[in-house]
Structure 1
């Protein structure tokens, strides 16, 4: 899957550089940008003690003033994965490692990684070439980040210790203020057709436990602060909604 992602990014970048001089509609009008991206990430800092790698989807709505490369908007990023390093259900397992359900047989309970970042964002594009809205793009977002363990329950039987009202005692819900940074390449095409971004991102969350009681330890969770870090690669498409009818013709 990673090879396919990198190949697609290479095609996008090649197409972008080749389209810089094409004739087309003026792309310097004011615009609302709607974007959607996808890519892999890995956990670092305190987050790596609980989770491993995964994938994330992000989306945003941005305001781009006329004749400007400064953006102001709002971002949401949702991450998910299957690598959970903390076995919060160890106290429910038999010596053989099974969790017994209400039918007195081993239940298939899977632990999953879930995380969410949400907050306002500001960005700027440093132009490369004659297209003033294509080049190195920097974006910073300040917001809230939280993560938790999700339980994928057995489809056939129930585990009484994992009823809905008890799950919050196991999920290790954690959250707090976070800073998200992106650096990469972004293009708003001269002909308004091929609009995309690709690059690297890092997010640092200054978090703490949000639950009042932790069932695995039988005590309130630690109040000690955490530094949760997410490192990722992201590629996405942009839908620009322009305001204005100005047109310029560009030649190779």
Structure 2
């Protein structure tokens, strides 16, 4: 009789409390990757028409990207281009002395420095191809971008006052150029499971079809409307800040 009563009580205990234990032991609270913020640096080598104007340059890029559960990505990116190697360095010779100096407003000799400035803006799509089952968010990564490339020669004369290079006159010398561009990136993306180490790196190629947007060059006294082909090949590496979105919790009863 006592054994039978104990058995009944044990069955009732399991019937009442097992769903509670099932919630505690069977609850899933997983997190999925949602948004990626990237910051990167690239060293780039120009080719085609761009190589006639500039040498190698640096590139700093920031990017916002959405990563889907399918490992496809969509995003936007902007990159700042800068360099010290200007190969078209004789543009100002016609308004300089035979020694390469410029006469400022006070009659003093001034030195004009030049460098490269530019940027790209791209809308991107990409795909991660995971090769290790232990981490489905990492693997070889390819990305295609469509947007614009812009570049010009930047002149700097420090503290001197040069009327011959006023804001309006400078437009005839700076070779402001821009046009549509495409960009291809191939590399590797790593997103750690503990979310602490996240990076990417690879090779990037940019091709653009550009024109001189000033239209007229003061130094050559000619109109410049020729279609240019500007290309950049670079090696890029960067850090990723991932933002995770928690999935809604699911409860399983046993």
- Structure 1 residues 26, 106: CA separation in 2 closer, same or farther (over 3 Å shift)? farther
Residue 122 (structure 2) aligned to one of 119, 123, 126: 119
State the partner residue of 2:180. 177
State the partner residue of 2:79. 77
TM-score by length of 1: 0.82
State the partner residue of 1:201. 204
Which is greater in Rg? 2
TM-score by length of 2: 0.82
Q: Residue 108 of structure 1: CA displacement?
A: 2.1
SS in 2 for 1:229: strand
Residues 26 and 190 in structure 1, CA contact (< 8 A), matched pair in contact too? no
Q: Residue 167 of structure 1: CA displacement?
A: 1.3
State the partner residue of 2:92. 89
Say whether residues 1:234 and 2:246 are aligned partners: no
CA distances 1:5-49 after superposition (whole Å, capped 9, x unpaired) = xxxxxxxxxxxxxxxxxxxx966x141111000121111110000
**Structure 2 residues without counterparts, runs of 5 or longer:** 1-28, 250-254
- Structure 1 residues 26, 89: CA separation in 2 closer, same or farther (over 3 Å shift)? farther
State the partner residue of 1:62. 65
Output the CA distance in 2 between the equivalents of 1:164 and 1:94.
21
Output the CA distance in 1 between the equivalents of 2:58 and 2:158.
24
**Structure 1 residues without counterparts, runs of 5 or longer:** 1-24, 248-252
Which has the larger displacement, 206-215 or 49-58? 206-215
Residues 73 and 127 in structure 2, CA contact (< 8 A), matched pair in contact too? yes
Say whether residues 1:213 and 2:233 are aligned partners: no
Count of paired positions:
219
Residues 40 and 234 in structure 1, CA contact (< 8 A), matched pair in contact too? yes
Superposed CA RMSD:
1.7
